[in-house]
Structure 1
């Protein structure tokens, strides 16, 4: 139990520590630039929770054969998935919030673009976490080993962060060019959060553009589409491989 709490604390605190380490190197940029960096790292922390911790709990239940008992219970795979996701959302929110608090403590400048920014930020974060927790399910099932699943899920989170330039927060550091960063399921929510939480219009000067920032509700709708498809896929996978009940509840 003691080691579990230490691991949980480390996973939640890691992105904030990473941001503080980055700032300690000296960014020599405006406070809004630090805010952009903190959001990119904070989203990485949330994705790490969604992939690593969510996947670790599922892998542990499979490896310890708990689903043999679950199959005899009147438990819906959708309800099982919802319960796991609720816990994952709390932890992912904690990891992201800790990083933003670290940004505030070091002088990073944040500001809501308007009243509409609150629901957009909340919904974008929720939908993103839902999508990435489902991504952990096929990783766990394919690995069929808790340690391997932990390693692969961690690699996915880190690779997505690096290849998209701080999850799309700093496109110049990504090998991906053009509008694609506004459509990837890790970069799109990051860029939405940056647009609604960082008080500036000089995106090019701060390294956040090009491409142009995603500003329309169609981008939120795209995230919703990703999440809905993921929820259906996650329920199907649990029903078939964890509960052994066929391809649909």
Structure 2
């Protein structure tokens, strides 16, 4: 097959395609001010409203207040990440399908794998940028952060990437089955809100979770939030922050579980891209 030859050649063809797709999707996202405003602006306003009206930190000791606020902001940051990953990914795919771009791609030696990797790289870059914006907004409201140890930064970055991939995959699936970008936006936002509240602010408030709280260390939206909270704050009294029980996940086993979520989601996304988008079956 021409595509297989293109992918396996040593002239940098596949890598060039990945670079081109990543650059293209970043440009598309940057041009869509409405998409960016909704994906980043809505969570920021949502956080400020909750901080002003619903979040009660009056019982938190003064010496922990900044770090507990930091934990709250990280929770809203993961909420922002979910919205960005689902909404942006779905909208971009719907727009490409409506514009007939995949009819052109199917006639060219374009690798679905390179397309997918480019989309994921662009999605992770935008999601991480949105997450950092939320952390910056948190600083303006008194939030404080801190690295637990020298390994915390690479662990947090790896966890964030693994966290983003399942939601990017969900966005890809929504984009493949929906015919209108507006539906993708509404469905993704509602899904993120429901998950956020049903799981106790993405696992930040176990007392609000109706099921066994132990599950909060395993669900794909709560585990990353709790893991990031451990490595990006220096809270020692987790009981005062409201995040325990169960114990906050921190060790290697949780990194492995996050990696498994990311790898499994990537394989699912690749199947969606090949079968539903490029219609090429199981081969590249």
TM range (shorter): over 0.9
Following superposition, the deviation at residue 225 of structure 1 comes to 0.6
**1:239 matches 2:274:** yes
State the alpha-carbon separation in 2 of the partners of residues 95 and 124 from structure 1.
16
- For residue 37 of structure 2, what is the aligned residue in structure 1? 9
Aligned residues: 249
Counterparts in 2 of 1:151 and 1:18: CA distance versus 1, 3 Å = closer
> What are the equivalent positions in structure 2 for 1:86-235 lying under 5 Å apart?
86-235=121-270
Q: Residue 37 in 1 paired to residue 60 in 2? A: no
TM-score (norm 1): 0.93
Higher helix share: 2
Q: Distance in 2 between matches of 1:242 and 1:124?
A: 28
Q: SS at 1:231's partner residue?
A: helix
After TM superposition, where is structure 1 displaced by more than 6 Å over at least 4 residues in a row?
A: none
TM-score after normalising by structure 2: 0.82
Residue 24 (structure 1) aligns with:
52
In 2, Cα distance between the equivalents of 1:23 and 1:125? 24
Gaps of 5+ in 2: 1-27
CA distance in 1, matches of 2:219, 2:169: 16
Q: 1:157 to 1:248 in 2, by over 3 A?
A: farther
Determine the C-alpha separation between the residues in 1 that align with 2:281 and 2:123.
Answer: 26
Residue in 1 that maps onto 2:25: none
Gap runs ≥5 in structure 1: none
Q: Any idea what the Cα deviations from partners look like across 1:157-208, whole Å, max 9, x if unmatched? A: 1111111111112212222323101001110000001111121221122110
- Greater Cα shift, 22-31 or 227-236: 22-31
The CA deviation at 1:3 is: 8.6
> Structure 1, residues 130-165: CA drift from partner, whole Å, max 9, x if none?
121011222222334333222222222111111111
CA distance in 2, matches of 1:157, 1:80: 25
Distance, in Å, in 2 between the alignment partners of 1:99 and 1:145 is: 28
